[in-house]
Structure 1
Amino acid sequence: MVEVKINDDVKVGGTNQCFIIAEVGQNHQGDIEIAKKLIKAAKDAGANCVKFQKTCLKEKFTKKYLERPYDNPNSWGKTYGDHKRHLEFSESQYRELFKYAHEVGILCTASAMDMVSFDFLVNMKAPFIKIGSGDSNNLLFLKYAASKKVPLIISTGMVDKTAVKTIYDIISAQHKNFCLLHCISAYPVPYEDCNLTVIQDYMNTFDIPIGYSGQEQGTAVALGAVALGAKVLEKHITLEKTMKGTDHVCSLTPTEFQQLVRDVRVIENALGTPIKKVVTSEIPCIDKLQKSLVMGCTKNKGEILYPGDVKIKVAEPKGLNALHFEEVIYKTLVYDKKEDEPLNSGDFC
């Protein structure tokens, strides 16, 4: 499998650990101090990266769309434009956040919502750039992003498999330093719509690392994604689920995110290898519980062992492993053997 090189120290895919992204998105509510708290929370939780969303509003939205009324409990302004302007950090604020993340010791990046924002993040030397599901049908943007030959992580919500193949073809024509994330774009996603087996389909189809961006509640589905082979995991993080905004309901608190990271690492360790064998930790149970071949009755030297003459029991001392039962039947004893006495390899011929 192709590995994605994030920087000299961080690679995604192959035998590397799952790369865990704490998605702040706009859960900062336009407050840079809340954003910094979330950066620190992501670091303390063990995430590999913290991520925001960068938008040039006039590039992403039409003027009329920004002017439409936006009156609801999650609104930060009378119009959608007012709402988005409240939530959007300036370029200088982004520089401040990236600097703070560097000081804390966690990778920091953002989803680029348009070409202008993409260029800004390239100039900021973001370790990789995320392309969200909102641009999964934006072929012009995808071609532009591919041409820059920087590491990309791309969500694939709101489109079907044919469109995902198109995304793959566009980017791979330029480079293979990218990941595709299975994603369902709903907030929150009903569990029955998560369709995690798409991850396996992607893994069988594409020769790049595959991951999962989860908008469902809780951590169970995300952990299932890792068990199925996701090499990138993105989940939203919030300071408090009751805060204003549509994403908080499907976000994890810092404590929950920390537990998610711990559980992901447990799952990765537990997956092990696809080779079934006896492992060292089983030896005490083998010594205590595994069954042996023993005599079912007393028989003398020279007599033949018939099926009813051999029993399978937990024995002390141990005899032959019970798996050898068929090899012992109809053999001739070379020693006298008493009932319940273990059978060993030298007892018959």
Structure 2
Amino acid sequence: MHRRTLIIAEAGVNHNGDRARALELVKAAARAGADVVKFQSFRADRLATAGAAKASYQQAATGNAQSQLEMLRALELSEDDEVNVAAACAAAGIAYMSTPFDADSATHLVRRIGVSTLKVGSGDLTNAPLLLQLARFQLPIILSTGMATLAEVEQALGVIAFGYLADARAQPSPAGFANLLLDRETWTELRAKVTLLHCTTEYPADPHSINLRAMATLQNAFGLPVGFSDHSRGIHVPAAAVALGAAVIEKHLTLDRDLPGPDHRASIEPDEMAAMVASIRDVEAAIGDGRKVPAREEIPNRAVARRSLVAIRAVRAGERFTEDNLGVKRPGDGIAPIEYWDYLGKIAQRDYAANEALEP
């Protein structure tokens, strides 16, 4: 059976730096039936320089009046805000998650809030120092792979494995990361703790750029659980990803797509999130176990839809069955049509009325 897909409502920075809006996003995600609501934990000054440019989608959504650094400063939640949001998640019955963008934010999430899983955004897949610091917490990691090649994903896994398995006194190095991946026990550890998310880092992402088959490529290359972080419009692509084996779905959630901010336009609103969750659960139920046997619900319909051997005109006892008097008609509760040729030439043991089913 297909295991239950973990559905992450990506609140991200769609609170626009407002704790009250963050709390509303928690409620909306819980009402929609998501398993997790995820935020982002960062300090703008640790994340970007004053000269860092905005992405084109950010420019389109927020204009050019602010730099990326100024935009990020306006989107921060304080550590106390995060504690309040995590408490609201517990009260609403939904798991809290956040993507840390620096070691201090990660320490806060792990030590003060007590998160059970760490999420790494696509932009930090090549941030080896951060990956190493996160892995040393020994928690499961969900790693988005947008913009990445297989070689870059493999390199990131080497860093994470080093953080999980190497002695804290060991000197990190590219050679050390690569060597760990030669050990079978390393892959046992990675398979137990790391999930890879295929992702297209564009907001919104056009269907032609999504390439859902890359999930299978990741699965075949590394043998780890795979999922999909979706930036497409609408809700149909995540359901398709689940049909193709996604163990995790992540999708941006906003209270209103018309709000100012970088990610709102590529997000779905609460009613759409609820529809997406329902669609995914339907797909999970439809996937089944792969055995080609009648569903329990089908069995009563076999007699209605299938056919049996019948006399297509009156036949007297002692008369032989021929193509002129033997046929197949509904219902299918008698002799199966596969025996048609065996009955041709047989002698009727009793009289049969037209359209009467044959007896064995």
Asked if these proteins are the same fold (TM beyond 0.5), I'd say: yes
Q: Residues 71 and 78 of structure 1 are in contact (CA less than 8 Å); yes or no, is this contact kept in structure 2?
A: no
Indicate conservation of the 8 Å contact 1:213/1:234, yes or no.
Answer: yes
> Which 4+ stretches in 1 moved above 6 angstroms?
none
2:183 is aligned with 1:167? no
1:254 partner letter = P
| Mapping 1:154-233, distance limit 5 Å | 154-172=143-161, 174=164, 175=189, 176-233=192-249
Tell me if structure 1 keeps the 8 A contact 2:48–2:68: no
- Please name the residue that 2:134 is paired with: 145
Are the structure 2 counterparts of residues 324 and 208 from structure 1 closer, same or farther at C-alpha, using a change threshold of 3 Å? farther
CA separation in 1, counterparts of 2:291 and 2:341?
A: 26
Can you list the C-alpha shifts for 1:249-288, whole angstroms capped at 9, x where unaligned?
A: 2211111111111121111112222112222322443233
Specify the code of the residue in structure 1 equivalent to 2:103: M
Aligned residue runs from structure 1 range 58-69, under 5 A: 58-65=45-52
Once residues 323 and 198 of structure 1 are traced to their aligned partners in structure 2, the CA distance between those partners, rounded to angstroms, is: 45
1:97 pairs with 2:85: yes
Q: Structure 1 residue 55 and structure 2 residue 42: aligned? A: yes
**2: CA distance, partners of 1:263 / 1:213:** 16
Q: List alignment gaps of at least 5 residues for structure 1.
A: 1-13
Q: Could you tell which deviates more after superposition, 226-235 or 325-334?
A: 325-334
Q: Which moved more, 1:210-219 or 1:283-292?
A: 283-292
Residue of structure 2 in register with 1:31 after alignment: 18
Q: Which residue in 1 is equivalent to 2:305?
A: 289
- For residue 259 of structure 1, what is the amino acid of its counterpart? A
TM-score by length of 2: 0.82
* Partner of residue 312, structure 1: 328
> Residues 333 and 56 of structure 1: is their aligned pair in 2 closer, same or farther, counting only changes over 3 Å?
same
Contact 1:43 1:106 in 2 (8 A): yes
Segments of 5+ residues of structure 2 without an aligned counterpart are: 165-188
Match of 1:6 in 2: none
Match of 2:73 in 1: 85
1:39 positional shift: 0.7
Structure 1 residue 230 displacement after superposition = 1.0
Residue 126 (structure 1) aligned with residue 115 (structure 2) = yes
Query: Structure 1 residues 330 and 256, CA, compared in 2 at 3 Å: closer, same or farther?
Result: same
Q: CA deviation at 1:291?
A: 1.3
Shift of 1:65: 2.7
Structure 1 residues 94-136: Cα deviation after superposition (integer angstroms, max 9, x where no partner): 1221122222222111111223322222223112111000012
Shift of residue 161, structure 1, vs aligned partner: 2.3
What is the 5 A alignment of 1:256-271? 256-271=272-287
* Gap change, CA 1:209 and 1:288, over 3 Å in 2: same
Q: What is the alpha-carbon distance in structure 1 between the residues aligned to residue 45 and residue 329 of structure 2? A: 78
Instruction: Report the Cα distance in structure 2 between the residues aligned to 1:77 and 1:160, rounded to whole angstroms.
Output: 34
Whether 2:360 is the aligned partner of 1:341: answer no
Report the Cα offset of residue 331 of structure 1. 4.6
Aligned Cα RMSD in Å? 2.6
Q: 1:142 to 1:326 in 2, by over 3 A?
A: farther
Query: Would the aligned equivalents of 2:61 and 2:262 in 1 still touch at CA under 8 Å?
Result: no
Give the percent of matched residue pairs that are identical in Structure 1 and Structure 2.
Answer: 31
- Post-superposition Cα deviations, 1:60-106, rounded to whole Å, max 9, x if no partner, equal 22354389xx9876159633222211111121221221122222222
Aligned position for 2:262: 246
Residues 269-284 of structure 1: matches in 2 within 5 Å?
Answer: 269-284=285-300
Q: Say which is worse superposed, 260-269 or 300-309, in terms of deviation.
A: 300-309
Distance 2:151 2:343 in 1: 60
In 1, Cα distance between equivalents of 2:35 and 2:87: 16
| Cα distance change of structure 1 residues 342 and 137 upon mapping to structure 2, 3 Å threshold | same
With over 3 angstroms needed to count, the CA separation of the structure-2 counterparts of 1:78 and 1:289, relative to structure 1, is: closer
Q: Is the 8 A contact 2:50 2:68 kept in 1?
A: no
Moved more, 226-235 or 93-102: 93-102
- Quote how far apart the aligned CAs of 1:245 are: 1.8
Alignment-mate amino acid for residue 68 of structure 2: Y
Once residues 212 and 63 of structure 2 are traced to their aligned partners in structure 1, the CA distance between those partners, rounded to angstroms, is 32
Deviation at 1:238, TM superposition (A): 0.5
Distance 1:236 1:325 in 2: 60
